[in-house]
Amino acid sequence: MLIAVFAAVAVSVSVSVTVVVNQGSGGGDGRDRGSGSTGAPSTPAIDADKAASGFGGVATTTENCPASEVDGVGGRCVVSPECWSGITDVSGLITVSRADCRTRHVWETFAIAPLPKDGQTNNARDLVRHPDVKALCSQKVRAASMVPNGRDVADEWNVDILPPTAPEWDKGLRVFRCVAAAVSQDGQKTGSQFALPG
C-alpha cells in the first residue's frame, strides 16, 4: 500500500513539472519551447537588482520597430540583440538561460511590452491567451521585425512569450517579451536575426 502511495506522488510530481524541448515542430501557437542546455539549472533573464530600473531592464526603442505599430499594447524593440539558450516552463512559471547572440542559441527577442493592465501575471500559460499578447507576439510582427538575411536561416519560425521570471516579478518587473526560434534540425542558430538598423 505504501509503495502505491509513493508511486502516485511520483507520477503527480512528474506531471506537474513540464520541461518542453523544441523538436523542430512548426506552428506559431506560442507553446513550443526550445532548450540548448543540458538540463543544468537556468538563471534569471536579467540581474534582479537591475530588473526594475528600466523598461524590462534593457534599452528599448520604438524607432524602426514593428512592435510599436501594434495599437494599444506599448510594444517596443530591444536596442541590442537579446538571445536565449533555453526556456524552462514549470506549470507556467518560466526560467530562462541567457545566451551570447554570437554563439549558438535557440530563441531571440523581437518585441517587449508592459504586461496588459488586465493581465498582471507572470504565468506564461495564462498570459499567452491575452489578446494583446497574441497581437504582439504574432508571426506577423515577427516577420516584420526580421532582418532581410534572417529569412535565410529558416523557412519557419516558432514564436513564444517570456513573462517575468519569479525573481523579476518579486522585484516589480511587469513586462513580457516576444521571442522567436528558427525551425531547424537542432533548433539552434548563431547571430541576430532581429537586430535594428544601425
- DSSP secondary structure of 162-174: E---HHHHHTT--
Q: Are 128 and 176 in contact (CB under 8 A)?
A: no
User: Burial of 48 by CB count in 10 Å (0-12 exposed, 13-18 middle, 19+ buried)?
Assistant: middle
Of 17, 20, 57, the C-alpha closest to 35 is 20
pLDDT tens, per residue, the chain with 198 residues: 444 444 444 434 333 333 333 333 333 333 334 433 333 333 334 333 333 234 778 889 999 999 999 999 999 999 999 999 878 889 988 888 899 999 989 999 999 999 999 999 999 999 999 999 999 999 999 999 998 887 788 889 999 999 998 888 999 999 999 999 999 877 788 889 998 765
What's the pLDDT at 65? 94
d(CA 75, CA 80) in angstroms, rounded, equals 16
Domain boundaries, the chain: 18-182
Strand stretches in the chain, DSSP E: 60-61, 77-78, 83-90, 93-99, 107-114, 157-162, 175-182
What Å distances lie between residue 57 and 14, 17, 78, CA to CA?
33, 28, 10
d(CA 30, CA 40) in angstroms, rounded, equals 24
Task: Give the contacts of 154 (CB within 8 A, at least 6 positions apart).
Answer: 182, 183, 184, 189
What's the pLDDT at 141? 97
Which residue is listed with cell 513540464? Answer: 18
What's the pLDDT at 153? 84
CB atoms within 10 A of CB 189: 21
